[in-house]
Structure 1
């Protein structure tokens, strides 16, 4: 009597090896640029500015601040300045290419923030040449938000995700949510 062998263990082993190979290849964060950037001994004598540049190469780039001390958002046209007022209401100022105020026309802007399990939505209404939120932002020093901007009611949505961190930046004149220093965690 000839005994048949099952192909199931071989298929399972083959699938497991394929998945392991994908994880191994996908997890490598060592790029050719980082491999070649630092190939000398630390005992070598060289200019320390090289180390300063390498140590800070992943620091964020400095950004332009809004003319009113708010966060400048340039992924839409016209640009948007996001400003948190003393009473925690949010003001949206539209800006032209010279950073001069532009009167809102039919832009649709919403802000969703807070905990994912119970988010709060803010709508904006035109007041003068600005858009002002219908309610203040949530209490707290750092609030995760998604700002949704549409140039018109039927335009594509542009989403900006960031934290409204109301702490003062120690190195610039802005609050952390609008900081222009280029350091992390904004």
Structure 2
């Protein structure tokens, strides 16, 4: 009996994990990437001036007011690591400096529910090119092959 219960629990956990891995990304309301799988959702969005905006949404992707969340970001550009700090602006957290020049590098986003909370880390592979299929920046692509390498040099 105990073995059956253990096997059943393991199969359920495996099925849930597999479903999470194949789940299509949620499109962010601003055109950015939704980092979290559960509400409250955090959206990572890069403005034209390369400043980063992190906004928070409920389960229906309705904006949530800031309530003490703390965000920090480290861009792992080819020119070196750059830490970005954030300030509150228009109901979102906006970086005080832009992302480094260039493309094709990881951005580590650390989100805390409050200053004392344990951080949650998310990685974004930053590509600013626009996806031909979904018309979003590659870092926020929501296509079936989202998150995989795209070969933009073939044309």
TM-score, L = length of structure 2: 0.75
The structure 2 residue matched to 1:69, chosen from 31, 41, 44, is 31
Dislocated runs of 4+, deviation >3 Å: 115-118
The structure 2 residue matched to 1:147, chosen from 109, 116, 119, is 109
Mapped pair 1:177 → 2:139: yes
Q: CA RMSD in A?
A: 2.1
- Tell me the equivalent position of 1:97: 59
- Tell me the equivalent position of 1:14: none
Instruction: Could you tell me which runs of 5 or more consecutive residues in structure 2 were left unpaired when the two chains were aligned.
Output: 1-20, 151-155
C-alpha distance in structure 2 between counterparts of 1:113 and 1:173, whole Å: 24
Instruction: Could you tell me which runs of 5 or more consecutive residues in structure 1 were left unpaired when the two chains were aligned.
Output: 1-58
Give the SS at the match of 2:55: strand
- Tell me the equivalent position of 1:166: 128
Shift, 1:78, TM fit: 1.6
Query: C-alpha offsets along residues 57-81 of structure 1, whole Å, 9 cap, x if unaligned?
Result: xx95432210111001224642111
Aligned residues: 128
Quick one: structure 1 residues 103 and 66, their matched pair in 2 at CA, closer, same or farther if it must change by over 3 Å?
A: same
Q: Tell me if structure 1 keeps the 8 A contact 2:77–2:100.
A: no
TM-score, L = length of structure 1: 0.63
- Tell me the equivalent position of 1:5: none
Q: Tell me if structure 2 keeps the 8 A contact 1:146–1:160.
A: yes
Give the SS at the match of 2:139: helix
